[in-house]
Chains A and B, each alone.
Chain A
Amino acid sequence: MSGPRWIPTMLLITAFQLISFAQVIFVEDGINYFAATILAIYLLIEWGWSITSSFVLRKSSPAIEFVAFFLTGIGLAVVATKGTSTLFTQFLAVALGFALYIALLWMLANVDRAEKFHVPMEIIAIGLLAIGLIFASNRNGAYNWVQIGGFSFQPSEIVKIAFIFVGAATLEKIQTTKHITRYAIFAVICIGLLFLMRDLGTALIFFFTFVVLGFMRSGDVRTILFVILAAGMAAVLVVLIKRNYVMNRFATYRHIWDTPYGNGMQQTRVLTYSVSGGLLGMGIGKGKLRNVFAAVEDLIFGVVAEEWGLIIAFIVALAYVVIFVHSVRNAKGSRSAFYSIASVAAGSLLIFQAALNIFGVTDLLPMTGVTLPFVSRGGSSTISCWGLLAFIKAADNRTWAGRKS
């Protein structure tokens, strides 16, 4: 029985969100009723889920959701200052993501049932990426967007979920060469397609997740080193073939102050505006970084630092450590290797993507243009993050405390 121990935490998060949402709702030229409505619904979802899962479904305390609620709330507040339609689309993505989260939890409740989805997932993953490659339009140098009607999405984001699902399901089976080979081929196809889309950041995330999955299954450090070495050589080959394209992207790395009005523009702006807000921030919507290209998508860490202050920005960063540690701890006590592997893979993916984003925009790592999980604006990305969270939640045995397994 979980009891209401989660209530103080949720009250704290709610208080934080009320303060930040108020800054967005009560603006100089009156009250933003639309934002007020949307954000109120969001608070209702948070509380609704917490109460339902705790008292009605009698699941364990919704701790992992709290972290995601916290991050999502920040993302919504930033987006709310960008305009009504932007907020509405982002809210819709959160709602869809949350629905996916619940659907995946249901699907994952029964391992045997879940594993039946294995082959369809494989087909969906490769299919989506292939569709992506064929129909994708070029956005900022990467062909990773598909436009259908007035609605556009990034297939690679959704495929992240399938990638981990298939990986965990395949590797959970008795370790036979057949299974390993099959998954390796699947992974190579996915990563290869991403390379062809020129979505380097996401390809890197998939590769990293593949390595984690492989390590969790085999536990063989030598094999992992071999895989990394092979990938490194393949990367060198790619660089040699596509030298100009790749080199251009990495030439700026550690040289952003040479070209503050050229290729180093985004990173230098992130650094300057991050420290402009100081520890306490300029106030939500009062920043200047938001006018820079891709501010609330790739550069949102800088926007949070500038407007909410460096303290909140670093708490946001630490939130990914909490999610990750949670994913590893859940894996230890899990009912099945499938849950363990999927949980660690999802946790690793999220912290790795957060690292690529945060350290990328601050020039500690090359900038690869990936989003900040849960916070960045972006429908596919938001939905995908909530989907990944289901793997971590599913590995927590207490999630199923109310039922017999």
Chain B
Amino acid sequence: MNRIFKRTRWMYALAIAFLIGLGILAFLFGTNARQWVMQPYNKHIYSSNGLVGGATVYDRNGDILVQTVNGNREYNSSSTVRKATLHVVGDAEGYISTGAQTAFASQLTGYDLVNGLYSMKEKPHDLTLTIDAGLSATAYKAVTEKGYEQGCVGVYNYKTGEVLVAMSLPTYDIEHKPNIDTSQDRWNAVYMNRFFKGRYTPGSTFKVITAASALENIDNIMDQSFTCNGAYTVVRGSQVKCNGVHGRVTFRQALNQSCNSAFAAIAAAELTNEQMTATAEEFGFNSSINVNGIECADSTFSLEDAYPIDRGWTGIGQGQTMLNPCHEITIMGAIANKTGATPTPTLIKRSVNIGTLNYVSSDVAAQLDNLLRSNVTNYYSDSKFPNLQMCGKTGTAQVSGAEPHTLFVGYSQREDLPLAIVVVLEKSGGYGLTNCIPIANTIMQDALDRYVE
């Protein structure tokens, strides 16, 4: 009998193994709950018609972007608004991963581990976005009326971080969803919000970063002048072509006129790989921005072991560099604020603790602000942006095997209109000056009407 008693002690190992298993299970429940709950088959959250519980998504002015009526998900009554906000509102099926109905599903359901989804039954957790439906519609019309089919527009308040427009093309009317074949070029990446997830060759818009690096590293850069005879030659047979023959230009004039020869010369001859990389990373390249949990595509920059000619091309935005539009708009914000810092973009109204992106010194930011303002006053002309005190930079990005993309990034200096804007038109051909600036102006004028007058 005694031997049997001793053996029983070993049996406790079984209880311990069981308890360890329960511990692992508790840990998995704790760490994965949110992910497990937000499954499209979860009938507490989704019916065949999308989110249940009547959670409504509003725009910043209280307009309904999507609501549940008699068990059906109903979107904004205007087809233009529906198309313009498709990518921020998202769909019930979850094709558009950055859409509010998918990305913010846990806010909409009010899920927490203690109460589970219980509170969802009691009261709908409505969500108000920072998006302006009307301004988005204006952006959609401004771009599509000119015949552009792909690209994106972002508008961002650089004082509060609120994103007012995050319009992406191609789009569709969610109430009349067409047959979409994503292998067709016209539906290329249709479910992606290009503003948050896109990456583009920056073209001349990158000269802002090159200029920043020059201001940081070259003492007398504002006093230097450059001679442009149509190209910058590193060595015989190795040159960066310019878009014109600018003759003798100062640093400021070179930026105003977007002179490739001057900027290639600055990058190739006066800056080092390390210096340019340091400036780019200071500005947030190679790290991504998180917008209320939506991870933006990161802008990428690399000059490792690059030759001067590569640095020259990179200096004018035609190297390996890729730029994310949402990141680009925060760079404008940091300059517009003249502090080198800007609030992290947010899509949810009344977000707290949204954080700050710190890019450069206030000194450099203020000089860049001055330079970007002179781009408009000296070159694009204020008549293109009446009453806006606009600053900015255009770009044309050469892409292999297609017409170039054109871009504009900028912001208004008006205290009562602290908005930055980015316009990207894919395969548009032409120039940012002629393609993007009129569109940017239309949108900014509409914002002026809405928020100031």
**Smallest Cβ distance from B42 to chain A, in angstroms?**
5
Q: Does any Cβ of B come within 8 Å of A348's Cβ? A: yes
Docked complex: B1-54 residues within 8 A CB-CB of A = 1, 3-8, 10-12, 14-15, 17-19, 21-22, 24-26, 28-29, 32-33, 36-37, 39, 41-44
Residue A383 is within 8 A (CB to CB) of chain B in the complex: no
Query: What residues on A are CB-neighbors of B17 within 8 Å?
Result: 355
Inter-chain CA distance A254–B43, complex, in Å, is 24
Instruction: Say yes or no for B95: interface residue by CB 8 A criterion.
Output: no
**Chain A residue at minimum C-beta to C-beta distance from B113:** A278
Q: Smallest distance from the beta carbon of A305 to chain B beta carbons, Å?
A: 8
A-B contact count (CB 8 A): 125
Are B18 and A351 interface neighbours, CB within 8 A? yes
Q: A253 CB to closest chain B CB, in angstroms?
A: 15
What residues of chain B lie closer than 8 Å to A331, measured between beta carbons? 4-5, 8
Binary per-residue interface labels of chain A (354-374) against chain B in the complex, 1 for a CB within 8 Å, 0 otherwise = 110011001010000000000
Measured in the bound complex, the distance between the Cα atoms of B14 and A331 in whole Å is 15
| B379 contacts A by Cβ under 8 Å | no
Report how many residues on chain A are interfacial, defined by Cβ distance under 8 Å: 50
Contact B36 A271 (CB under 8 A): yes
Interface centre among A272, A279, A324, A325 (most CB of B within 10 A): A272
A277→B118 contact, CB < 8 A: yes
Of the candidates B6, B14, B22, which one forms a contact with A348 in the assembled complex, judged by CB atoms under 8 Å apart? B14
Q: Which listed residue, A268, A275, A348, A359, touches B113 by the CB 8 Å rule?
A: A275
**Is chain A's binding surface mostly helix, strand, loop or mixed?**
helix
Q: Are A364 and B42 in contact (CB under 8 A)?
A: no
User: How many Å lie between the Cα of A269 and that of B8 in the bound state?
Assistant: 38
With contacts A277-B118, A355-B18, A364-B24 taken as known, whether A219 is within 8 angstroms of B44 at the C-beta atoms is no
Determine if A282 and B25 form an interchain contact, defined as CB atoms under 8 angstroms apart. no
Given contacts A275-B116, A279-B113, A317-B22, contact A324 B4 (CB under 8 A): no
Contact B29–A288 (Cβ < 8 Å): no
Least CB distance from A172 to B in Å reads 10
On whether A352 and B14 interact (CB within 8 A), knowing A278-B116, A364-B25, the answer reads yes
Surface stretch bound by B, among A70-78, A185-193, A244-252, A337-345: A337-345
| A360 nearest CB across to chain B (Å) | 11
Q: Does B115 contact A (CB under 8 A)?
A: yes
Alpha-carbon distance between A348 and B121 when the two chains are bound, in angstroms? 42
Contact yes or no, B44 A276, CB < 8 A: yes
A274 interface residue, CB < 8 Å from B? yes
Give Cα A249 to B348, complex, Å. 45
**Are the CB atoms of A288 and B37 closer together than 8 Å?**
no
Q: What are 11 A-B contacts with C-beta separation under 8 Å?
A: A216-B8, A272-B37, A276-B42, A278-B116, A278-B117, A321-B15, A324-B15, A324-B18, A341-B4, A352-B14, A355-B21
Which 7 A-B residue pairings sit nearest by Cβ, starting from the closest?
A278-B116, A275-B33, A288-B43, A277-B116, A278-B115, A219-B7, A271-B36
